[in-house]
Amino acid sequence: MIDAPPHRDPLVPPLLDAQGRTMTYLRLSVTDRCNFRCTYCSPASWGGKKDLLTPEEFERIVSVFARMGIRRVRLTGGEPLIRPDILEVARRIAAVPGVEWLAITTNASHLERLAVPLREAGVTQLNISLDTLSEDTFRRISKQGDFGTILRGIDAAVGAGYASLKLNAVVMSGVNDAEVGDLIAYAHARGITPRFIELMPFGQGTPVPTAQLVERLRASGLSLVPDEEPQGAAAGPAQYWRAPGGRVGFISPLTQNFCGGCNRVRVASNGDLRSCLGGRAQAPLHTLIRGGATDAELALAVRRALGEKPDGHRFTEPGAGASLLTMMGIGG
């Protein structure tokens, strides 16, 4: 276990995990509820947490992490934009000293109304989930949600002037894997970077390995060349390729394990810190905050939890899916 030495201020960077990896990126779930019910993410039985953090508590947690060296924050869910106070949450976090980059992952259902206000609140980047261009296929994936509203929300985001827009698609065999080329063309026509994610064992469906997907795209006539552009210490898990219309990303948690370069820590919507996407180890930051803990005490709790972070997820181990939380429960 890595902990702060007794003589050292626990708030002073760097923030290290048990493997000595430096954490610079916080994924902060603001709700685990969603207005969709996607089969791979949101089981019908999921009731959600009842005791969510307030905007002030989110700001407090982010300020502690920022003092420890976190520079990038992503707001996740559930669907973050269903929170009625999401603009206040974004404004508070964007204003925290040390936060250089604030992103939101969204299903775009509220972007038609919120794309511009979110950018004005300080959001730098949007990652938009769009698994299909077919309304019929969308309905197979989610029984809830309005497909037209999603497409209008994406167009609103394109017009809002974000520094970066990404389109995330979870690829499922026999469901949407034949649409990958069309999704690339759709995204590039709008100046968006498309990214394709291997299905993880949180819900229903059969994954398509990234290598197989790349070969299919090449066989269809799409030129793909590995992107050698350095991503730096703030890079995420995606590997990028160059296509005629722009970059294409692939996130491959099953076949191309990205854990070795992990720089991320996750906090769920009720304040539970989770040291790993594929585990259950946690620290109840909300209990500490509401119990009057100092910033130093919060920092020590964070360091202790990260001191138990494994070297990698266990998604591919037999029976692993049965022991994992749902994607909504983890916070994406």
Q: What strands lie across the sheet with 125-129, from one edge to the other? A: 225-226, 239-243, 246-251, 193-198, 164-171, 125-129, 101-106, 72-76, 25-29, 264-267, 272-274, 282-284
Q: Are 78 and 90 in contact (CB under 8 A)?
A: no
Is 113 annotated in a binding site? The answer is: no
Q: Are 27 and 268 in contact (CB under 8 A)?
A: no
From first CA to last CA, the distance across the chain in angstroms is 25
Is 195 annotated in a binding site? The answer is: no
Is 119 annotated in a binding site? The answer is: no
Is 40 annotated in a binding site? The answer is: yes
Q: Give the C-alpha distances (Å, rounded to integers) separating 281 from 68, 77, 84, 196, 266.
A: 20, 19, 30, 28, 11
Is 89 annotated in a binding site? The answer is: no
Is 27 annotated in a binding site? The answer is: yes
CB-CB neighbours of 12 under 10 Å: 12
Gap between the Cα atoms of 53 and 278, Å rounded:
23
Q: Which of 53, 56, 63, 66 is nearest to 13 (CA)?
A: 66
Is 74 annotated in a binding site? The answer is: yes
Helices (H), the chain: 55-68, 86-94, 111-120, 135-141, 147-158, 180-189, 210-219, 285-290, 295-306, 320-323, 327-330
Is 208 annotated in a binding site? The answer is: no
Q: Give the C-alpha distances (Å, rounded to integers) separating 312 from 40, 96, 316, 318, 328.
A: 21, 30, 11, 15, 20
Is 180 annotated in a binding site? The answer is: no
Is 276 annotated in a binding site? The answer is: yes
Is 166 annotated in a binding site? The answer is: yes
Q: Could you please report the per-residue DSSP string of 267-283?
A: E-TTSEEES-TT---EE
Gap between the Cα atoms of 14 and 58, Å rounded:
21
Q: Which residues, at least 6 apart from 81, have a Cβ–Cβ distance to it below 8 Å?
A: 104, 106, 109, 110, 111, 114
Residue positions forming the annotated binding site: 27, 34, 38, 40-41, 74, 78, 105, 129, 166, 200, 259, 262, 264-266, 276
User: Residues annotated as binding site for [4Fe-4S] cluster?
Assistant: 34, 38, 41, 259, 262, 276
Task: Cite the annotated binding site for S-adenosyl-L-methionine by residue number.
Answer: 40, 78, 129, 200
